[in-house]
Amino acid sequence: QENNLRTRELEAHLMQLPEVANVFSNVGGPSTGIGSMGVGAEYRSELTIDLVPKEARNGQSTEATMMALRADLLHHFPGVDITMATIGLVPRSAPVEITLSGADRDEVMRTAQVLKDTLAGIPGANNVRLSIESGAPELQVHLDRDRMARLGLSTAAVGATLRNALAGNDDARLYEAGTEYPIRIRVDDIQRRDAQDMERLLFTNAAGMPVRLAQFASVERYEPPALVERMDRMSAVTLTADALGRGSGSVADDVVAYLGNNPLPTGVRLTWGSDVKRQNDSFGALGGALLISFILVYLVMVALYDSFLYPFVVLFSIPVAVIGAFLALNLSLSSLSLFTLLGLIMLLGLVAKNAILIVDRTNQLKAEGMPYQNALVEAGRTRLRPILMTTIAMVFGMLPIALATGTGSEWKNGLAWVIIGG
C-alpha cells in the first residue's frame, strides 16, 4: 500500500512536467510487456513514460531528457532508488554486461564487488548490479568433534536436538472429541533470535548432564548467495549496468582502461556480453567487409588498367578520405557505430571514383605523347570541375541527413558526416 501511494505521487509529479506525455505504472507485480524491466517485488514499481515529440522538447535528445528527469525525481523524492532505461521492440537487456568466472567462487565475488564499485563511479553508468546478491541470512554451527567426544555427545544426537529446537517436533498428537490435532514443539522464537541465543541451547549427554552448545561448537552468521551461477563449469557472476548519457561502448572503454591499470586476479576470467559483445562482433564483420571492398576495388582496377601499379595510385587517396571522415565525426560529436562503418564502405567507392577520373585522363594524355608531369597537371585542371560538381552534389545531398534532428535521426547523422568529411 505504501508503495502504491508513493507511485501515485511520482505519477502526479511526472504528469506536471512538460516533457512527459503519458505515464503507465505497474506496482509490485512483474511486467511482461515489451521492454519490460520485470520488477516483480512488492517494494518496487515500474513506470513507463511516454515523452512528447522531440520538437516539443526543443530538440533535446531522449537520453538528455532521461538524465534531467532522473535528477528532478531524486530532488523531489529523496530516499527513492530510481533506475531509468530506454525500451525497444525486443525484450530489454542491460547495455553493459560483464561476466566474471573462475574456480574460486570467493575470489570471483570479491573481484565482482570491486568492479561493481568501479563501474558505479564511471560517468554514464547507471543501475549497476550483480546477478548474485546475498540471500537470506543463516546461522552456521561449526562442531568441535574432539570436545563432543569428551563431553559424551554424538553428532546424531546434536543434530536431532538442533532440528527439534529450530524446526520443531510434531510426533505428539492431541485427541479431543474424536478429532486428532498435530502438535509441534520447538524452542520459543525469543530464545533463538541470534547466534548468542543459539549458543545457550542445552543438550543432554550420555550421562544425562546438560551441556551448552557454546561448550563444543561455534555459531556464525552467514549470508549465502541467493543463487549460484556457473560458466564453463566454473563459478560465475554477471555484472550489468545501464548506459545513461553516454554510449555503452564509451562506458566499456573506461572499464577496459581501468582493467589495464588494475589487472584481474589470476584465475579470474572476464567475458563481455549484451551490447558490447554485439558491437564487437558487428565491428569485426564490417571491418572484414571493409577490407574485402578495398581488395575488390583494387582487383577491378587491375583488370581495367592492365597494371598492378596504377590501382595503388587510386587507392592512396583512401587514407586521406578516412582521416577527413573521422575528423568530421569528431567535429560533429558523433560516435563510431555500425552505420558510420557502412558510410566508410560507401566512401571507398566515392573516393576511388574521383581518383580514377584523374588517373584515366592522365593515361590518355600520356598516350597522346604529352610528358608525364604535364599530363598530370592537365588532367587535374580538366577533371577538377566534374570532381567538384559530383562532390558538392553529394555533400549537399547528405546535409539534410547530417543536420536532421527528428525522432530517430541520431543513428543516421554519423553516416552522413562520414561521407561529407571523406
pLDDT at 19 over 80: yes
pLDDT at 7 over 60: yes
pLDDT digits (tens, 9 = 90+) for 350-405: 777 778 888 888 888 888 888 878 888 888 888 888 888 888 888 888 888 777 76
Tell me which of 200 and 245 has the higher pLDDT: 200
pLDDT digits (tens, 9 = 90+) for 195-242: 777 777 778 887 888 888 788 888 777 766 656 666 777 777 888 787
Residues of the chain above pLDDT 70, percent:
84
| Mean pLDDT computed over 270-277 | 75
pLDDT for position 39: 45
Cα(87)–Cα(92) distance, rounded to whole angstroms? 6
Cα(147)–Cα(197) distance, rounded to whole angstroms? 20
pLDDT for position 191: 62
Please tell me the pTM assigned to this model: 0.52
pLDDT for position 41: 57
pLDDT at 133 over 70: no
pLDDT at 38 over 50: no
Q: With bands split at pLDDT 50, 70 and 90, how would you rate the model's confidence at 35?
A: very low
Cα(203)–Cα(309) distance, rounded to whole angstroms? 95
